[in-house]
Structure 1
Amino acid sequence: MNDFEVSYMCFHGTVDVYAKKIQQNKKFEIVKRKDHWLGNGAYFFVNDSQAADWWAKQSVQKYSRHNSGKRKGTKKVLSCKVCVLKSLLLDLDTQADQCKFQNFKTDLEKKRISVILNKEKDEHVLTCLLLDLLVAMEEYKATKYTFTVNNYRIIDERYKLRVNGVQLCVFDQNVIDFESIREVSS
């Protein structure tokens, strides 16, 4: 199968201070955590500025708590284009890439690395660890997955339509078109 480029319109919710740094430095500062859902990278909502706005509100609250109220941040949402070759994207919404992830986990278990993995009880920590390892070994530039948003009700039970949030985690920031970054009014 021929490789092809996949493009996304992405939205990143943050605090004004960080938004300014991102635009000036053309770089997202990554705060490493052991429980990121898709690994350690820059996170975006795909085609969903409203979800990014919600995240920006959460970020402002956290920023204000950590600054002891000295400076209250304001929420900002940035939009940008992200383009990545399909072969360098781990798209966990596809059967093929779900199999790659499962096969990677199975290979680790065969190599007795499962002893380490089985000690970890937190599913987010375990997933982050596995994805960070897989991304490093296979040189993926980004991961993508659609999460069900649990705080929304189904509008009509007959249709079973649920609100989902598509997230993209970028590891190699060269796939981000920094010239396309714009502040989105919220």
Structure 2
Amino acid sequence: MDSNVIIEAYHGTDLSNAESILKSGFKCRPNKHHWLGNGIYFYMDFSLARWWTTNPTNKFGVRVRTPAIIRCKLNVNNEYILDLRRLKDYTKFVEIYRNEFLPFLFKGDLISVTEDMIDTKKLRCTYCDYLNIKYKYKLIIGTFYLPNQPYMPTEYGKFFHTFNISYIENQICVFDTNVISSMELVTEDRS
């Protein structure tokens, strides 16, 4: 039996953008390099949203002069969440890619075109958009591991080799903004 899940999520941006969002809602700016498809992005960790406001990428058109963080409650039925932290969802993600998306993408012509010839960022974004359109996912929770994250001291990446325990970053891409049940401007993590 599926049920609703409530997720607390954080969106870092400039204060002027935050005020506009609180007044008029989020608006997606499509970009072929988005991590998890074209949607609104959130961190599950307040400190990462705060970090992003001090180190934004120009790729997504955000210039942060006055950092601001919006805390949102995402309220969505579990059947419309693709959570790549769960093994069953990750397995589904891989199987749909292999068995459905690749044949669709290459239309059976794997001799002249190979996966290595494609920009992986664009491919990942396109694939996640495909999942949203075909399977009606309202949000995807993605996990990212890089041994040397820019928000961590360099030596922390080496710690993984000591205990085989790593930090996995979680991001959320919301395709359907109707799942955002509340929004508030926050200045500190109160969780």
Q: Counterparts in 2 of 1:59-70, with a 5 A limit?
A: 59=56, 62=58
Q: Residue 162 of structure 2 aligns with which residue?
A: 158
Quote the Cα distance in structure 2 between the aligned partners of 1:117 and 1:19: 42
Q: Alpha-carbon deviations, 1:142-163, whole Å to 9, x = none?
A: 0002212532314855333322
User: Which ranges in structure 1 are unaligned for 5 or more consecutive residues?
Assistant: none
Count of residues in correspondence between the two structures: 176
TM-score, length of structure 1 as denominator length: 0.82
| Contact 2:83–2:141 (8 Å) recurs in 1 | yes
Quote the Cα distance in structure 2 between the aligned partners of 1:166 and 1:73: 25
Does residue 32 in structure 1 map to residue 30 in structure 2? Answer: yes
Q: Alpha-carbon deviations, 1:33-66, whole Å to 9, x = none?
A: 11111111010011x111001111123x749x98
The one-letter amino acid of 1:146's match is: T
Q: Residue 101 of structure 2 aligns with which residue?
A: 108
Q: Residue 137 of structure 1 aligns with which residue?
A: 134
Quote the Cα distance in structure 1 between the aligned partners of 2:83 and 2:114: 23
Across the aligned residues of Structure 1 and Structure 2, the Cα RMSD in angstroms comes to 2.7
2:115 partner SS: helix
Q: Residue 54 of structure 1 aligns with which residue?
A: 51
User: Which ranges in structure 2 are unaligned for 5 or more consecutive residues?
Assistant: none
1:98 Cα offset (Å) = 1.8
Quote the Cα distance in structure 2 between the aligned partners of 1:96 and 1:128: 21
1:140 Cα offset (Å) = 0.7
TM-score, length of structure 2 as denominator length: 0.80
Indicate how the Cα distance of structure 1 residues 134 and 66 shifts in structure 2: closer, same or farther if over 3 A, else same. Answer: closer
1:100 Cα offset (Å) = 2.1
Equivalent of 1:172 in 176, 180, 190: 176
1:184 Cα offset (Å) = 2.5
Quote the Cα distance in structure 2 between the aligned partners of 1:146 and 1:167: 7
Quote the Cα distance in structure 2 between the aligned partners of 1:81 and 1:118: 37
Equivalent of 2:118 in 116, 121, 127: 121
Q: Which moved more, 1:152-161 or 1:110-119?
A: 110-119
1:158 partner SS: helix
